[in-house]
Amino acid sequence: MSDLHVYDTTLRDGAQQEGLNLSVSDKLAIAMHLDELGVGFIEGGWPGANPKDTEFFARARTELALRNATLAAFGATRRAGGVAADDPQVRALVDSGAPVVTLVAKSHVRHVASALRTTLEENLAMVRDTVSFLHAEGRRVFLDAEHFFDGYAADRAYALEVVRAAMESGAEVVALCDTNGGMLPDQIADVVADAVGATSARVGIHCHNDTGCAVANSMAAVDAGATHVQGTINGYGERTGNADLLTVVSNLQIKRGLPLLETGRLREATRIAHAISEITNVPPYSRQPYVGASAFAHKAGLHASAIKVDPDLYQHTDPQHVGNDMRMLVSDMAGRASIELKGRELGYDLSDDNELLTRVLARVKDLELRGYTFDAADASFELLLRREVEGGGYDFFEVESWRVITDARGGEDALSEATVKVVAGGERVVATGEGNGPVNALDHALRRALAPAYPELDKLELIDFRVRILDAAHGTDAVTRVLIETSDGSTSWETIGVAGNIIEASWHALVDGVTYGLVRAGVPVR
């Protein structure tokens, strides 16, 4: 089991996710992150089937210096009635230069007849011929037995014969694929155990998540004897996605003690998951096991009281194992322990200051009653706590006034103009800004006003803006909550504003976002 393969197919199967479109440069960048993680194999795509994947393998020869992983090219067995040596797509697999070739083959009798439109014996011949040819060409050959579990249910003998045909022809691994994602763990375990016992092949597992069981199914397969696990980073993939490789590996390494990755590499999991999210432009899933922002976040006051005594009381493992952190969320559910632990995160020892803890807790509960939600705006809470602990401060500038006008003429697009008057660095500044909306205009005006005193603001960028109408039954008289995410290029933070007016709520969130940015930059309060 210590030789269990970790096989990543993010660049091929994961890239089939709806709305995910990777350039060749994107794929090369992701491959480097996967190599840093320490996976054993990276499936780069299908050379010969599309120009992008052909280019990827061509560029990989000179641009991809893998230290831990082995590159694999994906392709299909030869066409029915042909010869592998003469099949252009099989030849493209050889020409890719990849040391490993993973072939997909039919193992379901219905698919052989309906999709390939050939005989069962010819399908076996296609497997034998293609595997033998690639093996003779010096390639390590893996085979993905497509629709294996459904095929096994339809005709066990034939599904197992496909496994034998591949193994006897030189395939190193035969991965059993739950292509439709419809299996459950007990079914997976029974079939894998039978396949291992009946064929003596090295069996792998490839699961999709259509029943929500891809990770559990992969674990069940390993328990039953599979020694090769396929998946994708962040669970990317068609329909509901593939098995999340980070969750599978974390479970096997942390919970089962299997040394899949070199010491220390799993600690890079959270960073790599988020880095790949940036490349794919798919927002990170906050509740993703192990690496999600909320994976070790605690909100309930009861939890906080226990964690104050021992973090393990409400955590299944140490978040540092996967490079994540415990987070204490402050909300109307918070108790004094939540505030104390949050203060500890920020470097304040509040354990002996009962009066301050009581005051901050009352302030939080009052604000949340009015519509604030600090568990979604850590930066705003940090500013609140810092001001309470230090008796004020963190007022880098004084706002004298602000206003915004939106003007539309004829059929032209509306244009917003904002004017901001502030006192910063001892100087009164009046600045205007234009934008494609009132919040955008206010953002530009505020930065322009503060730029002379605080050049550090040049790095800040507003990257997300979310609005929620509270008490919607009140119609246009309802309270508005605005959450703004700001980035300095290396990290991001969220701030909140609540008001009866959407522009006013946005302004409060903007001011907090800029103020927190100056705190992070280490700017002294003047």
Residue range 213-249, pLDDT digits in tens: 999 999 999 999 999 999 999 999 999 999 999 999 9
Nearest to 215 by CA among 232, 203, 201: 232
More confident residue, 384 or 174: 174
Average pLDDT of span 384-394: 80
Q: Are 142 and 102 a contacting pair, CB within 8 Å?
A: yes
pLDDT band at 471 (very low <50, low <70, confident <90, very high): low
Please name the fold of domain 397-520. Double Stranded RNA Binding Domain (3.30.160)
Calpha distance 97→40 (Å, rounded): 17
Q: What share of the chain is helix, strand, coil (3-state, %, to 5)?
A: 45, 20, 35
Average pLDDT of span 507-516: 93
DSSP strand pairing (228-231 vs 397-407): unpaired
- Which CA distances in Å does 21 have to 17, 279, 280? 8, 10, 7
Average pLDDT of span 267-278: 87
- Residue 481: which residues within 8 A CB-CB, separation 6 or more? 371, 372, 373, 467, 468, 469, 470, 496, 497, 498, 505
Q: Are 205 and 188 a contacting pair, CB within 8 Å?
A: yes
Say if residue 349 is exposed, middle or buried (CB neighbours under 10 Å; 0-12, 13-18, 19+).
Answer: exposed
- DSSP alpha helices (H): ranges in 146-241? 148-154, 156-168, 185-199, 214-223
Please enumerate, as own/partner, the contacts of 190-197 that have beta carbons within 8 Å and a separation of 24 or more.
Answer: 190/224, 191/148, 191/149, 191/152, 192/220, 192/221, 192/224, 192/225, 192/226, 193/224, 193/225, 194/156, 194/160, 195/152, 195/160, 195/163, 196/224, 196/225, 196/226, 197/225
Q: Which residues of 109-129 are buried (b: 16+ CB within 10 A; e: fewer)?
A: bebbeeebebebeebbbbbbb
Calpha distance 146→159 (Å, rounded): 10
Calpha distance 111→158 (Å, rounded): 12
Q: Are 359 and 387 a contacting pair, CB within 8 Å?
A: no
Average pLDDT in the chain: 88
Calpha distance 326→293 (Å, rounded): 9
**Count of CB atoms situated within 10 Å of the CB of 16:** 15
Q: Are 98 and 71 a contacting pair, CB within 8 Å?
A: yes
Calpha distance 14→213 (Å, rounded): 17
For residue 479, pLDDT over 90 is answered with: no
For the CA atoms of 14, 16, 21, 25, the dihedral, rounded to the nearest 10 degrees, stands at 50
For residue 443, pLDDT over 80 is answered with: yes
pLDDT at 477: 54
Q: Render pLDDT for 352-373 as a digit per residue (tens, 0 to 9).
A: 778 888 788 788 777 877 877 7
- Residue 378: which residues within 8 A CB-CB, separation 6 or more? 327, 329, 493, 494
| CA 302, chain centre distance (Å) | 29
For residue 50, pLDDT over 60 is answered with: yes
Average pLDDT of span 252-262: 90
Range from 25-34, 217-226, 460-469 carrying the lowest mean pLDDT: 460-469
Domain with CATH 3.20.20.70 in the chain: 5-280
Range from 207-221, 240-254, 458-472 carrying the lowest mean pLDDT: 458-472
Q: Render pLDDT for 175-208 as a digit per residue (tens, 0 to 9).
A: 999 999 999 999 999 999 999 999 999 999 999 9
| Interaxial angle between packed helices 354-369 and 378-390, expressed in degrees from 0 to 180 and rounded to the nearest 10 | 140
pLDDT at 134: 97
- Which CA distances in Å does 378 have to 30, 238, 395, 432, 512? 30, 34, 18, 30, 11
| Interaxial angle between packed helices 156-168 and 120-136, expressed in degrees from 0 to 180 and rounded to the nearest 10 | 20
Q: Are 304 and 298 a contacting pair, CB within 8 Å?
A: yes
Helices and strands per DSSP (H, E), number in the chain? 17, 16
Rg (CA), the chain: 28
The pTM score is: 0.70
Q: Render pLDDT for 301-334 as a digit per residue (tens, 0 to 9).
A: 555 555 555 666 667 888 888 887 766 555 444 5
Domain with CATH 3.30.160.270 in the chain: 397-520
More confident residue, 300 or 193: 193
**Count of CB atoms situated within 10 Å of the CB of 58:** 15
Domain 5-280: give its CATH superfamily.
Aldolase class I (3.20.20.70)
Structure tokens that stand for 498 in this block: 């609540």
- DSSP alpha helices (H): ranges in 413-501? 438-450
Calpha distance 316→199 (Å, rounded): 38
pLDDT band at 384 (very low <50, low <70, confident <90, very high): confident
pLDDT at 388: 83
DSSP summary character for residue 489 = S
| Interaxial angle between packed helices 24-37 and 51-63, expressed in degrees from 0 to 180 and rounded to the nearest 10 | 50
Partners of residue 70 on adjacent β-strands: 41
Calpha distance 511→494 (Å, rounded): 12
Nearest to 170 by CA among 199, 201, 206, 204: 201
Calpha distance 74→12 (Å, rounded): 8
Nearest to 34 by CA among 75, 4, 68: 68
pLDDT at 441: 93
Q: Are 418 and 441 a contacting pair, CB within 8 Å?
A: yes
pLDDT at 523: 85
